[in-house]
Amino acid sequence: MFFLLPSIVAISFTNSCHQKNDWTQLFNGKDLSGWDTYLGPPLDDAGKKLSDIPVGLNNDPNHVFSIVNEDGEKVIRISGQEWGGLSISLKTYIY
């Protein structure tokens, strides 16, 4: 009986803490719809700024962010050619 009670409490606690683990796909497998890209100021080969003005938000003239085929799947590729970032608003996916 001494071992049964802690086991029941542990099982009850585990079940009450178990969260729904649904997968939300953020990448549509086609393009960067819903994503924002940002590129900082252009840099030379040594990493020195060529300008203080960033390339900006959703302006990617050198295709630093692209979609490519990898092992039969479309994936997001970031070339690393320029300093930047890729983000998505989770407000769209949280309900």
Per-residue pLDDT tens for 45-89?
888 999 999 999 999 999 999 999 999 999 999 998 899 999 987
**Residue 67: CA atoms inside 13 Å, Cβ hemisphere, count?**
11
**How would you list the strands of the sheet with 56-57, edge to edge?**
56-57, 35-39, 84-88
Q: Count each helix (H run) and each strand (E run) in the chain, helices first.
A: 1, 5
Angle subtended at Cα 75 by Cα 90 and Cα 29, rounded to the nearest 5 degrees: 60
The full set of domain ranges for the chain reads 29-89
Percent of the chain scored above 70 by pLDDT?
74
At residue 58, φ and ψ (nearest 5 deg) are 55, 35
**What token pair was written down for 32?**
């960067």
Q: What is the pTM of this model?
A: 0.67
CA distance 26 to 93: 8
